[in-house]
């Protein structure tokens, strides 16, 4: 369907057709709209499911049902098919795997029943581990309960790719109206736009209703007060799913991004951007999640990212973007990097007019996996300034890292990577890392590498670093000639100064 922006009536008609089909099988998006428009509190629906359009690919590994706990009516959920990538370290080629995803909205508690149709189930795991969800396993079927909207991954028999991603939202209370002249509305069904790029004017909201699929890139160019929201899907978007350039006061909420042909989102020379509960899956080369260039005041909150390159990348200058990058927050997110880093900072900048990346906060984040065979691109969090960048004032707090396939927990390196850089990075200064935990056996030694005395790493403090249950501190018992990093087989070179490891009590006493 080719849909110019002015044809809102056609969009509404498409939504009505899909909605009528969905009513036959259970609660749909209209019920969610009614939830906020006059029904009594006790009458409001607690579970809202959305049909997958028939032309969208599915996967056949799982059957999934959900009900309001403890005894609501079971509803069978449609299975969507994200695709994921694994790099062959010998050939460099990438193999693409089909995976599974379901999504729905709820209020209260919901019970899920997942049946592994391949059979032979010996164990099941619901991640992140920090949620403490222990599923009840009955043969090839498992059950567990979510007491609030969470994004989780169900793995059977330690399958990495052929697993189930469960994406959940709270009920929509104030969904935009299709009749609102400031709303570009897409109802349930698959939609295209002319030229495969949806350019969003200032003051407009792009709304993807639950069950809607948009195959175009959403483009914010030199605009203000614009928004992308809704419980729909951006799918196979050419050039990437979201592109935000020279814009300010932008909001992106709740959308799911499946298999974009490029980055899930690019934010260049933009200011005051908030991305809340966006989800991204990718399988193509250079399949980054969200990348920030020369921007200020960008806040990512509650995102689930599973990408075939960096989940988050924070840079200064590249391409036509110029200027410092400041005040970036990544919080309450779940990250899974099938290739490269969950978080990468600093690679690109301006050697001719050096820039800064400063005031970066990473808080309350779960890292589920990290696989990168190349030593130079490892690190669940990598601070790797090149191109004369200076990284300064970084705060990392409550970072929970589960065992990953291959890589490093932390990698700080003043970089001169001739593939990407035209000069060495200026340095890393003033980094505070509190309550970082890693539990596992696959991590390579974390590296802290200054380039020389003029391009150094300065003032890095760890508070309550816990590696496999060991609290790592300068005061811990060890031979007097050992470095603290020896206790966990990490390494820092002579161009790292004032690297400290404190217990929580020591940090409190010093403050």
Query: What are the domain boundaries of the chain?
Result: 46-169, 328-510
At 373 the pLDDT is 96
At 257 the pLDDT is 98
Q: Can you give the pLDDT of all 511 residues of the chain as single tens digits?
A: 444 443 343 344 344 333 333 333 333 343 333 343 333 455 554 899 999 999 999 999 999 999 998 889 999 999 999 999 999 999 999 999 999 999 999 999 999 999 999 999 999 999 999 999 999 999 999 999 999 999 999 999 999 999 999 999 999 988 999 999 999 999 999 999 999 999 999 999 999 999 999 999 999 999 999 999 999 999 999 999 999 999 999 999 999 999 999 999 999 999 999 999 999 999 998 999 999 999 999 999 999 999 999 999 999 999 999 999 999 999 999 999 999 999 999 999 999 999 999 999 999 999 999 999 999 999 999 999 999 999 999 999 999 999 999 999 999 999 999 999 999 999 999 999 999 999 999 999 999 999 999 999 999 999 999 999 999 999 999 999 999 999 999 999 999 999 999 999 999 999 8
At 41 the pLDDT is 53
Which residue(s) pair with 491 in the sheet?
447
If DSSP codes are grouped into helix, strand and coil, which group holds residue 208? strand
Q: Are strands 136-138 and 141-146 parallel, antiparallel or unpaired?
A: antiparallel
| Separation between Cα atoms, residue 72 and residue 74, nearest integer Å | 6
| Separation between Cα atoms, residue 105 and residue 96, nearest integer Å | 29
At 238 the pLDDT is 93
At 69 the pLDDT is 87
Fold of 46-169: Dex49a from penicillium minioluteum complex, domain 1 (2.60.350)
CA-based end-to-end distance of the chain: 62
Backbone angles phi, psi at 65, to 5 degrees: -125, 155
At 36 the pLDDT is 39
| Separation between Cα atoms, residue 443 and residue 410, nearest integer Å | 10
Q: To which H or E segment does residue 510 belong?
A: helix 504-510
- Hey, what are 507's tokens? 């940090």
Cα-based distances in Å from 173 to 35, 44, 426: 6, 11, 48
Residue 20: which of 44, 65, 45, 51 has the closest Cα?
51
């Amino acid at each position: 369907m080719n849909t110019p922006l002015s044809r809102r009536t056609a969009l509404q008609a498409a939504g009505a057709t899909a909605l009528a089909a969905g009513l036959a099988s259970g609660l749909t998006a209209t019920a969610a709209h009614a939830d906020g428009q006059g029904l009594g509190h006790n009458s409001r629906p607690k579970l809202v499911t959305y049909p997958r359009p028939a032309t969208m690919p599915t996967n056949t590994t799982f059957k999934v049902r959900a009900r309001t706990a403890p005894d609501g009516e079971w509803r069978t959920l449609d299975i969507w098919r994200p695709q994921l990538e694994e790099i062959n370290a010998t050939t460099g080629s990438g193999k693409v795997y089909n995976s599974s995803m379901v999504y729905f909205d709820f209020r209260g508690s919901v019970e899920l029943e997942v049946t592994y149709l391949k059979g032979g189930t010996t164990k099941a795991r619901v991640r992140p581990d920090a949620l403490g969800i222990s599923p009840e396993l009955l043969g090839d079927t498992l059950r567990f309960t979510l007491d609030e909207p969470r994004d989780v991954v169900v793995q059977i028999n330690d399958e990495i790719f052929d697993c189930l991603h469960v994406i959940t939202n709270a009920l929509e209370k104030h969904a935009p109206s299709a009749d609102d002249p400031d709303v570009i509305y897409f109802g349930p069904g698959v939609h295209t736009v002319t030229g495969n790029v949806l350019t969003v004017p200032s003051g407009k909201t792009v709304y993807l209703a639950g069950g809607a699929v948009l195959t175009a890139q959403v483009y914010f160019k030199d605009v203000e007060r614009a928004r992308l929201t809704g419980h729909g899907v951006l799918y196979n978007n050419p050039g990437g799913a979201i592109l935000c350039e020279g814009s300010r006061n932008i909001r992106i909420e709740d959308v799911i991004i499946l298999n974009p042909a490029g980055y899930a989102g690019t934010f260049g020379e933009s200011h005051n951007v908030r991305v809340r509960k966006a989800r991204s899956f990718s399988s193509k080369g250079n399949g980054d999640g969200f990348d920030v260039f020369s921007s200020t005041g960008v806040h990512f909150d509650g995102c689930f990212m599973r990408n075939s390159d960096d989940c988050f990348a924070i840079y200064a200058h590249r391409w036509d973007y110029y200027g410092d990058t400041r005040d970036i927050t990544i919080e309450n997110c779940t990250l899974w990097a099938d290739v490269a880093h969950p978080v990468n900072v600093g690679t690109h900048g301006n050697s001719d007019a050096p820039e800064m990346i400063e005031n970066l906060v990473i808080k309350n984040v779960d890292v589920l996996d990290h696989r990168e065979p190349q030593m130079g691109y490892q690190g669940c969090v990598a601070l790797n300034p090149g191109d004369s960048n200076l990284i300064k004032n970084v705060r990392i707090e409550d970072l929970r890292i589960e065992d990953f396939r291959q890589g490093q927990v932390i990698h700080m390196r003043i970089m001169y990577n001739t593939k990407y850089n035209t000069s060495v990075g200026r340095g890393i200064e003033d980094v505070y890392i509190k309550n970082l935990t890693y539990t596992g056996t696959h991590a390579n030694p974390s590296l802290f590498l200054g380039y020389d005395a003029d391009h150094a790493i300065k003032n890095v403090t760890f508070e309550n670093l816990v590696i496999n249950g060991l609290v790592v501190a300068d005061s811990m018992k060890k031979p007097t000639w050992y470095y603290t990093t020896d206790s966990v087989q990490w390494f820092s070179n002579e161009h790292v100064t004032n690297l400290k490891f404190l217990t929580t009590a020591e940090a409190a006493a010093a403050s």
